[in-house]
């Protein structure tokens, strides 16, 4: 276990990281970017240690993955044990209990007490692809409706579902067909203001689907109950429920993409719960397995069992080592009440972010829930002009000071916070001190 302390041993990135970055440039496709080119040697809890001996505070969790903490001891032990027993058989060839245990846990934990079935995959994109496959198969319909600012992945179908062109889609077309986009109830940027946002966005949604797609052609509506890469947008209160209810009335499947928002991140097991919504299908990944690649599609038993045997699968989906990591992660979330911890993290962050906003006058919106929080940076509070340059400068200033931070958003101007939920208050407060310094140096 690394000491849970920030250490600045060299400038960041240090000489060894810089040398590695040069080798990276010569060996790895330029298409694969690195937000903070610091090469990690070890990680535990809320700290990453790099090859130069710097210790950085983690406010990113590898994009919402290491929710249970980097190198969580339960996860490490479960993975080591599973590796020693066996690493792979392919569940479709000769199955094993760990896969079934994960599916049982998903049935218990995802919203709703109806009968459910799951299928396991390797990445969030793959889970989303399969959600669409299942929805089309079950309904016999083709159209899928997705939202502005949505992020659902980088495969061909999920690129089509993802809203943002640069960098995800630029020159990668043509994209999968029968994907339709509607506005998101984005309170901060809703033209008439936040008050009527939910109702107006819902009205636009239903009239667009009716006129441009046709309810009876629509297999599914897919929505992130808190949007991730698109800017940590919390839909206006009530919007998600209205959409889900409308889907039910029209026999359209409602898919909640909880890849980023799931597994305690928002203070509930799943962000859908806060909206009082029971999705027909839920996609999960990231936080589910504490850093091992695992994803899942969980849904109504009648929908999931409508697929012919052999219709879903993949060589590695539900790999036993990843399943063991998931079981240990879920055990940790329960034992350590990480949903409760996420709410404490929000209570610690919010006043600090509000103080930052009143000090600098560049933060237009503070939003999110639990330990999925963000601030939207603008150059003009009245006109809400996105300030991606400032977000980039603050990000860099954080990195130089040993704080791992991430930006996001359609306009690149959102600063997001996703700390591991094992981080102590002291460590989180120190991270917020660094953030304050970074703002003071950058605004
Ligand atoms: N759905 C809601 O957040 C992944 C993407 C990082 P994969 N988000 C991080 C990047 O730039 O590639 C994500 C998500 C939501 C689906 C996905 C896709 O999950 O595991 O990256 O395929």
CATH number for 177 = 3.40.640.10
Residue 425 and residue 176: Cα distance in Å, rounded?
45
Determine the pLDDT at residue 423: 98
Is 233 exposed, middle or buried (CB count within 10 Å of its CB: 0-12, 13-18, 19+)? buried
**What is the distance in A from the centroid of ligand 1 to the CA of 403?**
22
Q: Considering 335, 366, 381, which residue would you say is the last residue of a domain? A: 335
In this structure, the answer to whether residues 254 and 304 fall within a common structural domain is yes
Q: Which residue, chain included where needed, has tokens 């917020």?
A: 432
Neighbours of 89 (CB within 10 A): 12
In this structure, the answer to whether residues 222 and 306 fall within a common structural domain is yes
In this structure, the answer to whether residues 287 and 308 fall within a common structural domain is yes
Domains in the chain: how many in total? 2
Neighbours of 140 (CB within 10 A): 7
CATH number for 357 = 3.90.1150.10
Q: What is the mean pLDDT of residues 206-226?
A: 98
Residue range of the domain that includes 341: 15-71+337-442
On whether the CB atoms of residues 269 and 370 are closer than 8 A, the answer is no
In this structure, the answer to whether residues 98 and 25 fall within a common structural domain is no
In this structure, the answer to whether residues 144 and 174 fall within a common structural domain is yes
E strand map for 183-237: 218-223
**What is the distance in A from the centroid of ligand 1 to the CA of 383?**
31
Q: Tell me the pLDDT tens digit for each residue of 306-344.
A: 999 999 999 999 999 999 999 999 999 999 999 999 999
- Residue 8 sits at the vertex; the CA angle it makes with 4 and 14, to the nearest 5 degrees, is 125
Tell me what percent of the residues of the chain surpass a pLDDT of 90: 100
Determine the pLDDT at residue 414: 98
Residues 6+ apart with CB under 8 A from 355: none
Whole-number Cα distances in Å, 258 to 143, 151, 275, 284, 442? 21, 11, 13, 5, 34
> Among residues 298, 225, 232, 244, which one has the least CA distance to residue 63?
232
Q: Tell me the pLDDT tens digit for each residue of 408-419.
A: 999 999 999 999
**What is the distance in A from the centroid of ligand 1 to the CA of 124?**
6
At 104, is the pLDDT very low, low, confident or very high (cuts 50, 70, 90)? very high
Residue 90 located in a structural domain:
yes
Residues 6+ apart with CB under 8 A from 29: none
Determine the pLDDT at residue 123: 98
Determine the pLDDT at residue 73: 98
At 149, is the pLDDT very low, low, confident or very high (cuts 50, 70, 90)? very high
Residue 361 located in a structural domain:
yes
Q: Tell me the pLDDT tens digit for each residue of 231-265.
A: 999 999 999 999 999 999 999 999 999 999 999 99
Residue 37 located in a structural domain:
yes
In this structure, the answer to whether residues 196 and 295 fall within a common structural domain is yes
Q: Considering 290, 308, 335, which residue would you say is the last residue of a domain? A: 335
In this structure, the answer to whether residues 152 and 111 fall within a common structural domain is yes
In this structure, the answer to whether residues 329 and 431 fall within a common structural domain is no
- Residue 432 sits at the vertex; the CA angle it makes with 428 and 434, to the nearest 5 degrees, is 115
Determine the pLDDT at residue 282: 99
In this structure, the answer to whether residues 251 and 317 fall within a common structural domain is yes
From 130, 162, 285, the mutation candidate for ligand 1 (largest count of ligand atoms within 8 A of CB) is: 285
In this structure, the answer to whether residues 367 and 325 fall within a common structural domain is no
Residue 193 located in a structural domain:
yes
Pocket of ligand 1 (CB under 6 A): 63, 123-125, 128, 151-154, 224, 228-229, 257, 259-260, 285
Q: Considering 335, 360, 386, which residue would you say is the last residue of a domain? A: 335
Average pLDDT score over the chain? 98
> 3-state class of 120 per DSSP?
strand
Determine which residue's CA is closest to atom 1 belonging to ligand 1: 152
Residue 212 located in a structural domain:
yes
Rounded-to-5 percentages of helix, strand, coil across the chain: 40, 20, 40
At 219, is the pLDDT very low, low, confident or very high (cuts 50, 70, 90)? very high
Tell me what percent of the residues of the chain surpass a pLDDT of 70: 100
Determine the pLDDT at residue 53: 98
Residue 6 located in a structural domain:
no
Label residues 50-66 b or e (16+ Cβ within 10 Å = b): bbbebbbbbbbbbbbbb
> Among residues 220, 343, 371, 376, which one has the least CA distance to residue 286?
371
> Among residues 130, 102, 153, 156, which one has the least CA distance to residue 292?
102
Residue 8 located in a structural domain:
no
Label residues 371-410 b or e (16+ Cβ within 10 Å = b): bbbbbbbbeeeeebebbeebbbbbbbbbbbbbbbbbbbbb
Residue 410 located in a structural domain:
yes
From 125, 164, 225, the mutation candidate for ligand 1 (largest count of ligand atoms within 8 A of CB) is: 125
In this structure, the answer to whether residues 63 and 134 fall within a common structural domain is no
Q: Tell me the pLDDT tens digit for each residue of 30-62.
A: 999 999 999 999 999 999 999 999 999 999 999
In this structure, the answer to whether residues 405 and 387 fall within a common structural domain is yes
**What is the distance in A from the centroid of ligand 1 to the CA of 158?**
10
């Amino acid at each position: 276990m690394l000491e849970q302390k920030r250490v600045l041993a060299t400038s960041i990135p240090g000489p060894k990281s810089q040398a590695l970055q040069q080798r990276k440039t010569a060996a790895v496709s330029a298409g694969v970017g690195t937000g903070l080119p610091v090469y990690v040697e070890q990680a535990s809890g809320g700290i990453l240690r790099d090859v130069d001996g710097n210790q950085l505070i983690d406010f990113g969790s590898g994009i919402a993955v290491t929710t249970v903490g980097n190198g969580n001891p339960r996860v490490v032990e479960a993975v080591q044990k599973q590796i020693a027993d066996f690493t792979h058989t392919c569940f479709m060839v000769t199955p094993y209990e760990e896969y079934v245990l994960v599916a049982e846990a998903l049935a218990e934990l995802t919203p709703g007490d109806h009968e459910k079935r799951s299928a396991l995959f390797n990445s969030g994109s793959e889970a989303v692809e399969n959600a669409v496959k299942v929805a089309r198969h079950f309904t016999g319909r083709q159209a899928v409706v997705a939202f502005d600012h949505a992020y659902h992945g980088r495969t061909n179908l999920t690129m089509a579902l993802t809203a943002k062109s640069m960098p995800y889609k630029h020159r990668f077309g043509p994209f999968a067909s029968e994907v339709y986009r509607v506005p998101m109830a984005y309170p901060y940027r809703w033209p008439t203001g936040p008050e009527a946002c939910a109702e107006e966005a819902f009205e636009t949604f239903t009239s667009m689907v009716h006129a441009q797609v046709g309810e009876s052609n629509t297999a599914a509506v897919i929505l992130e109950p808190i949007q991730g890469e698109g800017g940590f947008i919390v839909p206006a209160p009530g919007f998600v429920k209205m959409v889900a209810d409308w889907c039910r009335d029209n026999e359209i499947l409602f898919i909640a993409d909880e890849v980023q928002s799931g597994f305690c991140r928002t203070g509930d097991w799943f962000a859908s719960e806060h909206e009082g919504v029971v999705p027909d299908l839920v996609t999960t990944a990231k936080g589910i397995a504490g850093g091992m690649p695992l994803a899942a599609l969980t849904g109504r038993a009648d929908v999931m069992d409508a697929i012919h045997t052999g219709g879903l699968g993949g060589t590695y989906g539900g790999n036993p080592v990843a399943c063991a990591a998931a079981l240990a992660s879920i055990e940790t979330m329960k034992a350590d009440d990480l949903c409760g911890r996420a709410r404490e993290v929000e209570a610690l962050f919010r006043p600090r972010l509000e103080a930052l906003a009143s000090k600098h006058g560049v933060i237009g919106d503070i939003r999110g829930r639990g330990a999925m929080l963000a601030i939207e940076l603008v150059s003009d509070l009245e006109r809400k002009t996105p300030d991606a340059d400032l977000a980039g400068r603050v990000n860099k200033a954080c990195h130089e000071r040993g704080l791992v931070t991430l930006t996001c958003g359609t306009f690149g101007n959102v600063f997001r916070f996703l700390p591991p939920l094992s981080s102590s208050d002291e460590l989180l407060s120190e991270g917020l001190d660094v953030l304050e310094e970074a703002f003071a140096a950058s605004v």
